[in-house]
Structure 1
Amino acid sequence: MNKPITKVIAYCGAAIATVAAATTLTLGSTMALFSASQTSASSSFTSGTVSVGLGSTSTTCNVTAMTPGDSSTNYGSGSVSLTPCDYKVKYTGSVAAYLAVDVTVTAGTTALYTATSSGLQMKVGVNGGATVMSGTTYKNTSGADTTLVAGTPVTNILLSTTPAATNDASTFNIDYLLPLLAPNSLQGGTASITLTFHAVQAANQSVGSCVAGQQCSTIVWS
């Protein structure tokens, strides 16, 4: 069985590998940066393809001076005026594989993400497919909404119960909201979200009762 290779910085050297996309938001007068693979000084949003397999590319989404009530266009509430981070995740391995994502949210010294309804909210998922994170929660192996605690990685959220074939691609979205009732204590706050995509061969594996958008422990990921 091919094993995924987990890297935070984009790196490939096997038929099935892992690529990470890092995202950073800042509240206040300083610039904040969304990035995949590495930090960029660019102040524009660009789309690209994050490859799981041989090769990789990065995308950068910048948000500046967020204030309470600000949100991206697809969040569904708030100002819906800021640009979301949208990009493609492409599988380039040579065998059919199940894809999953690991999620880690990190809070800055002044925490913008507080894991409460008054801090930064994020919606993360596949366009037209699985939802990975909604507000401050993800779904565990039993499907229960579980609060994502800053600094604690959430692993093996299944993206689809259908194995990916070579060159299959899906659009991945990160939308965000800073609630109107965010307290003054969040001024100058920062938070980052790191998404690590990984793949493992589908042959001789059973998806069992796993559901897309939930943690899956039936599949042997490594």
Structure 2
Amino acid sequence: MKKILMSLATVGALSALITGASFALFTAQTENINNTFSAGTVTLGNVALGSCDIGDPNNLAPGDSGSCTVNVTYSGSLEAFIGVQFSTEGALFEGSHPVTVSLSGGVGDHNGYYLLGKYDDGDTASVTADWSFPLAAGNEYQGASGTVNLKFVAVQARNNTDADGKPISWN
């Protein structure tokens, strides 16, 4: 019996050696640290009045019309859509024969914005405000004035483009 126990002990010891030897692995480690992530930017520069063919904007007469081009420079790191909204205020834009204003130079109204297109860093977006003072305007417009306001908006294009290539959202 002693021989059987010795044989079992020997077999067990050899099994332990073989098992231990088969789990001896080579290993190594390395690190990749200081990986910096930065969000992109969407930035508009100052709005600049380009060219106007309005003559004297402080001395309009019924029947006058013209246009003014307004430019804005895009300086963000992400490609962006630029749109513009406009509003008018003042007596010159009210009444029965007001001065009318429309925009050109883009692709038209898109979710409340006049879409000018997609722009990259350094590109200039331009919109033209076309206006007309109806010849039928009467004496109620003498001395009247008004203001046209343009609000330029930029929004990232990446992950914000619909099937037609237009922005899904302006927010």
Name 1:70's counterpart in structure 2: 64
Q: CA deviation at 1:101?
A: 1.1
Q: CA deviation at 1:209?
A: 5.0
The answer to which of 96-105 and 57-66 deviates more is 57-66
Q: Hey, what's the Cα distance between the residues in 2 that align with 1:115 and 1:67?
A: 16
Q: 1:102 to 1:65 in 2, by over 3 A?
A: same
Name 2:77's counterpart in structure 1: 94
Name 1:56's counterpart in structure 2: 46
Match of 1:113 among 85, 93, 98: 93
Match of 2:119 among 164, 168, 171: 164
Q: Hey, what's the Cα distance between the residues in 1 that align with 2:110 and 2:127?
A: 20
Q: Hey, what's the Cα distance between the residues in 1 that align with 2:149 and 2:71?
A: 16
Question: Does the 8 Å CA contact 2:107/2:114 hold for their aligned counterparts?
Answer: no
1:173 aligns with 2:122: no
Name 1:124's counterpart in structure 2: 103
Q: What stretches of structure 1 move > 4 A for 4+ residues in a row?
A: 208-211
Note the alpha carbon deviations across 1:187-218, whole angstroms, 9 max, x for none: 1212211111111111111234586xxxxxx6
Could you tell me the TM-score, scaled by structure 2's length?
0.62
Q: CA deviation at 1:140?
A: 6.6
SS at match of 1:197: strand
RMSD over equivalenced CA pairs, Å: 2.9
Question: Does the 8 Å CA contact 2:47/2:73 hold for their aligned counterparts?
Answer: no
Q: 1:57 to 1:123 in 2, by over 3 A?
A: closer
Q: CA deviation at 1:167?
A: 1.6
Q: Hey, what's the Cα distance between the residues in 1 that align with 2:104 and 2:89?
A: 18
SS at match of 2:125: strand
In structure 2, the gaps of 5 or more residues are 1-38
Q: CA deviation at 1:171?
A: 3.1
Question: Does the 8 Å CA contact 2:81/2:154 hold for their aligned counterparts?
Answer: yes
**Higher helix proportion, which one?**
2
Sequence identity of aligned pairs in percent?
27
Q: 1:191 to 1:87 in 2, by over 3 A?
A: same
SS at match of 2:153: strand
Q: 1:57 to 1:210 in 2, by over 3 A?
A: closer
1:16 aligns with 2:42: yes
Amino acid across the alignment from 2:46? S
Note the alpha carbon deviations across 1:152-192, whole angstroms, 9 max, x for none: xxx433222xx311122233222221111012111121221
Q: Hey, what's the Cα distance between the residues in 1 that align with 2:110 and 2:81?
A: 18
